[in-house]
Amino acid sequence: MSTAALDEANGSAPADADAGADAVAAADPAQTSRTLWPQRLDTGWQCVSTPAGACESPADWPTHGWLAAQVPGTVAGARRAAGLFDIANPPPLAFDDHWYRLALGDSSAAKRRLRLHGLATIAEVWFDGIKLLDSDSMFVAHDLDIDLRGNATLALCFRSLTPALAAKRSRARWRPRLVTPPTLRNVRTTLLGHMPGWCPPVQAVGPWRPIELLSDAPHAIDTVDISSRLDGDDGVVSLTLRFVHSHEAGACRVSLKCGAAVSSMQWSDAHTLVGTVRVPLAERWWPHTHGEPTLYPLTLQLDDGHVTSHDLGPIGFRSIETDYGEDGAGFALRVNGQPVFCRGACWTSADLVTLTGSEAQLRDTFTLARDAGMNMLRVGGTMVYESDTFYALADEYGMLVWQDFALANFDYPTDAAFNASIEREATQFLTRTRHFASLAVLCGGSEVDQQAAMFGLPVSMRVQPLFTERLPAIVARERPDVPYVSNSPSGGIWPFSTNEGITHYYGVGAYQRPLDDVRRAQVRFAAECLAFANVPDDATLQDALGTIYPHDPRWKAAVPRDPGVGWDFDDVRDHYLQALSDVEPARLRYEDPQRYLDLSRAVAAEVMSETFAEWRRAGSTCGGALVWQLQDLRPGAGWGLIDATGRPKSALHGLARTLQPVQVLMTDEGLNGLDIHLLNERAQPFNAQLELICLRDGNVKVVSAIRELELPPRSAQRLSAAECLGQFFDFTHAYRFGPRAHDVTIATLRDAASGRIVSEAFHFPERSAGERHDLGLTVAVERDGDGWQLVIVAQRFARSVHIVDTNYRAAHDGFHLPPGRQLIVPLVPLIARTPPERFVACASNAVFKADATSAAPAGEVRATNALSATFYG
C-alpha cells in the first residue's frame, strides 16, 4: 500500500503537507503526520500543448499558451477547466506533445524522493533541465531520487503516441475491429478514447495519478503494505512498514491496533517494521445483500518519546472461493462459505475526462448501485485501474469488485520488455489494493480468447502464456485470497459458449433472441450481458443533449454501435419494442415521439427485469450476471443504467425491483402456469405473507389467494401459482379456452409482522401496449421534512408509471401501480436547468443537489396504458 493509496483510502488527498495530517499527537501537539506522509504536489502546475517533436527539452518551451493544470489530472481536464474543451468534438490529444511544469520553490539542499503514481502514456520526467526518466506505461508508478537545491523546476513531457504505434514488434495473429489503431496493442494505455462507436474519443494524456514528494523527516514513511486473512474464527492483519531513512533498533517503538486488539511490531532491518495483530472472533465482511460489510479501524501507534496515532484506514475479513458446480462446468462465488448470486454492472468511468471523478461522484454512483440491489461491479480490461477511493467505497458499501487487468481483445507482444512491464504493472496494482476486502475476482483480460476464436484460430494458435502462466503466478504470489480466471469470457467448447464457465451473454440484447433464449442458453455466469440503448429521462435529453427526438443527429451520435455492422443499439431496443409491445417503432417515433420514448424506457426495464428473474429463480444454475454498462460516458441513449449526468434510467429502476435480497419473482412456465420464486439471501429467517391476485380490466379481482410462509435463511424456493390458488386458472393464457380472463397477475410479498410490502412481481399474459384507458390517477404534492414527495393513487392498474419534473427526479420510477394503493414517491432535487454546453463541457457523473430555496415540484405522471398524463404542481 503506497502512501498515496493510503491517503485515498482514508478519504484524504492533501494539497500540502499540512492537509495530510492524519495523526493525533498525544504528547506533543506539534508532531503531525506531515513528518510521516508524503507531500502531495497538486497545486501550482501549468501545462501547454505543442506539435509532436516541437520541443526537445524544457529549454525549447513556448512562452505563451500555458494553462493552469490539475494534478492528478489530464490535459483534457485542464482544457475543460479553462472552458476550452468540447467533449463532443475532442482533439486527438494523444498525437501531440504536452508539457507540465511546477516550480518547487526555494528550499535548502536536500535529497528527496519523488513518487509519480501514473503518467499517461509515453512520458518523460525532467528536473532542472535534465531528463531523469522515460516511461512507456500509464499503469506503473516510478520513484526518483532528486537533489533539491534552491529554486527547482519539475517538468513532465507527454509525447505523441505516433512513434510507439509505428514501432516494430511481433506480428499480431488477429486484429480486432474494436480499437483504432490496432497497433495500440503495443502501448500500455487505456483503450478509452480509442473505441469508435463506444465512447467519445477523449484520449488519456497527463499525470492522471498523484505526484508526491516523500518527507525528509526522521520517521518519514516510504510504503505501507497491509493484508488481512481469516484464521479459523479470528481475523489476522499483517503490516509491513518501510521508512525512508534507516533507524537504530529500539529507537522507535511501534504498535498496530485493529479494533480493540493491539500488537507490537518488530524491526526486520534498519528500514522495515513488520507485525501482525489478531482479532478474536472477527466479524466477517459481507456483500451488502448477504450481511453487513463489517470493517475494523486500523491504527498505527509510534512512540519515540512522543506518542502519535495514525489512521491506516479500515480493514475487513472475508473468504472467497469459486464454485464450479457438480458438473465442473459452472462458475459462481462463495463468500464466507455461502453461495452469492453476483449481480450488477460493468464499470466505465466516473469522469472520462479526468479518468477518476470526485469522491462525491463515486459515492453517488455507489449509492444508486447498492440501492438497486447490485452487489458486484466489474472493472473491465478496456478501462483503467480505478483509484483507491473506488475500492475503499466498494469495501464500505459492500460491493464486490470483479477486476480485469488492463488487457483486452489483442494478441499481445511476447518480448521481454513487454512482459517486464506487465509484471511491474500487475504487481504494483495488487500491492496497492492488497488490503481491500471487496476485490473478489481477478481476470486476465476481456475478450482476448474470444477474439481469436471468432477469427477461426484453433486453441493452439490463440493461447497466450501471459494469461495462462504469468498473470496467475503474480496473483498467486500477491493476492492468493482472490480467485483468478484467465479471460472473460472463457470455458466451454468456445470461449463464448453460454452453458459453460464465464460468458458474455447478448442473446437477449444485441443478438435479438426471444426472451425464452435466456433459459435455453443455460448461462452459468455472465460477466457481460444484455446491452440496450437505454433512454434517459426528459430532463437529460433536453438539458444535456438538446433534443428529445430520436431522429435528431445529436441523438444518433450518442447511440453506441459496434464497428463494421449495419445496426446500432437503438435498433436492438426497437426490436424488442415491436416484438413485445406490438407497436411499429418507426411509425410511432414520428407520429408520437413522446409515447415512443415512454414505451422504449418501459421495454428496456421489462426485458432486463425478466432476464434477471430467470437467472435468479429457484433451480437456476446461473451464478451471476453483470449488465453492460453501469453509466454512460456521454449524454444520450447509451448502454448505461445511469446517464452521463448521474441520473438513473428506467432500466436501473426495473432492475431494482428484481435484485433485492428478499425477493418474489414469477416465471412463465407455459402450460405449467406461473412459478413463484421466493428468495431470502439474509442470514435471518423471514416471516412473510404472500398475496396472489389476478385482475381483469385493471381493477376487477378475478381470483386471489393469501398464504403465510417462512423463508429460511440463505434460501430459494419455488411455489406453483396453481398450488397457491388451489384451483385451475389459466395464468399464462396458454390453454386459450375462450377469451383471456385477466390482464395481470400480481404477487405481493409482505412482512408478516408489519404488513410492509417487501417485494412485488407482475406477469402480463398479453404484452400489447395498444390499449389505453382513463386510470383515475391522482397525484398530490406533499412536504416531507426539508424535501418533497408525491402521493400517487390510481383506480385502475397503471403500467410503467413515469414521473417527469423539471427540478426533481423520482426516487422510484417506471413502476407498476395496483388499483387503490396509495404510493409515496420521494423526490430527489436536481440543479436548475443547465444550458446544453455545460453538459458538453462536463459530461461526468455530476452529483446534483438543490438547497432549501428549490422550487416546488411541478410536472406530470405518465403511464404507458393511460389515455393522458396527470399533471401536478
Tens of pLDDT, residues 98-107: 999 999 976 6
β-pairing verdict for 122-127 and 153-159: antiparallel
Decide which of 293, 315, 337 is a domain's last residue: 315
Range of the domain at 824: 778-872
Give the model's pLDDT for residue 790. Answer: 98
Mean pLDDT of 303-318: 91
HEC letters along 316-335: CCCCEEEECCCCCCCCEEEE
Mean pLDDT of 328-339: 97
CA-CA distances (angstroms) from residue 591 to 580, 583, 586, 594, 832? 19, 12, 9, 9, 31
Mean pLDDT of 295-320: 93
Tens of pLDDT, residues 504-529: 999 999 999 999 999 999 999 999 99
Beta-carbon-side half-sphere exposure of residue 571 (alpha carbons within 13 Å): 10
Does the residue 16 lie in any domain?
no
CA 816, CA 666: separation in Å to the nearest integer?
A: 15
Tens of pLDDT, residues 243-283: 998 887 667 889 999 999 999 999 999 999 999 999 999 99
Give the model's pLDDT for residue 540. Answer: 87
Longest dimension (CA), the chain: 94
Do both 202 and 228 map to the same domain?
no
Do both 638 and 687 map to the same domain?
no
The residue behind cell 418533497 is 788
C-alpha cell at 762: 407482475
Does the residue 8 lie in any domain?
no
Give the model's pLDDT for residue 523. Answer: 98
Does the residue 580 lie in any domain?
yes
Nearby residues of 575 by Cβ (< 8 Å), 6 or more positions away = 512
Tens of pLDDT, residues 142-158: 999 999 887 899 999 99
Contact between 308 and 26 (Cβ < 8 Å)? yes
What CATH number is associated with residue 720? 2.60.40.10
Do both 233 and 208 map to the same domain?
no
CA 207, CA 423: separation in Å to the nearest integer?
A: 21
Give the model's pLDDT for residue 852. Answer: 44
Give the model's pLDDT for residue 12. Answer: 35
Confidence check: pLDDT of 9 > 80: no
Does the residue 13 lie in any domain?
no
pLDDT band at 470 (very low <50, low <70, confident <90, very high): very high
Q: 29-59: string of b/e by CB count within 10 Å (b at 16+)?
A: eebbbbbbbbbbbbeebebbbbeeeebeebe
Give the model's pLDDT for residue 358. Answer: 93
Computed over every residue of the chain, the mean pLDDT equals: 91
Mean pLDDT of 290-318: 93
Do both 616 and 666 map to the same domain?
no
Does the residue 9 lie in any domain?
no
What CATH number is associated with residue 812? 2.60.40
Closest listed residue to residue 616, CA positions, set 671, 682, 668, 660 = 660
C-alpha cell at 239: 503490516
CA 559, CA 816: separation in Å to the nearest integer?
A: 28
Confidence check: pLDDT of 842 > 50: no
Give the model's pLDDT for residue 828. Answer: 94
Tens of pLDDT, residues 666-705: 999 999 999 999 999 999 999 999 999 999 999 999 999 9
Find residue 789's DSSP bridge partners.
782, 826
* 662-668, strands of its sheet edge to edge: 662-668, 674-680, 715-720
CA 307, CA 614: separation in Å to the nearest integer?
A: 58
What CATH number is associated with residue 425? 3.20.20.80
CA-CA distances (angstroms) from residue 736 to 344, 520, 694, 742, 766? 38, 25, 16, 12, 12
Among residues of the chain, what percentage have pLDDT more than 70?
92
Does the residue 868 lie in any domain?
yes
Tens of pLDDT, residues 541-588: 888 777 777 888 888 888 999 888 889 999 999 999 999 999 999 999
Give the model's pLDDT for residue 88. Answer: 83
Neighbours of 93 (CB within 10 A): 24
- Better pLDDT: 1 or 804: 804
Nearby residues of 742 by Cβ (< 8 Å), 6 or more positions away = 694, 695, 696, 702, 703, 765
Mean pLDDT of 331-339: 98
Do both 438 and 485 map to the same domain?
yes
Do both 136 and 267 map to the same domain?
no
- Better pLDDT: 247 or 435: 435
Do both 269 and 382 map to the same domain?
no
Do both 177 and 226 map to the same domain?
no
Phi/psi for 356 (5° steps) reads -130, -50
819, containing H or E segment: none
Q: Classify 32 as helix, strand or coil.
A: coil
Do both 133 and 281 map to the same domain?
no
pLDDT band at 417 (very low <50, low <70, confident <90, very high): very high
Decide which of 282, 315, 348 is a domain's last residue: 315
Give the model's pLDDT for residue 725. Answer: 94
Give the model's pLDDT for residue 831. Answer: 65
Nearby residues of 218 by Cβ (< 8 Å), 6 or more positions away = 35, 245, 247, 304
Do both 200 and 225 map to the same domain?
no
Phi/psi for 605 (5° steps) reads -65, -40
Confidence check: pLDDT of 8 > 60: no
Does the residue 164 lie in any domain?
yes
CA 446, CA 457: separation in Å to the nearest integer?
A: 17
Neighbours of 717 (CB within 10 A): 14
Give the model's pLDDT for residue 303. Answer: 86
Does the residue 28 lie in any domain?
no
Do both 371 and 517 map to the same domain?
yes
Confidence check: pLDDT of 833 > 60: no
Give the model's pLDDT for residue 872. Answer: 97
CA 134, CA 128: separation in Å to the nearest integer?
A: 16
Sign of the dihedral through C-alpha 78, 80, 82, 85: positive
Do both 599 and 548 map to the same domain?
yes
Tens of pLDDT, residues 755-795: 999 999 999 999 887 789 999 999 999 999 989 999 999 99
Give the model's pLDDT for residue 543. Answer: 80
Counting the structural domains of the chain, the total is 5
CA 81, CA 69: separation in Å to the nearest integer?
A: 8
CA 538, CA 248: separation in Å to the nearest integer?
A: 67
Sign of the dihedral through C-alpha 162, 164, 170, 175: negative
Give the model's pLDDT for residue 17. Answer: 32
Contact between 21 and 48 (Cβ < 8 Å)? no
Decide which of 703, 735, 763 is a domain's last residue: 763
Q: Read out DSSP for 748-766?
A: EEEETTT--EEEEEEE-S-
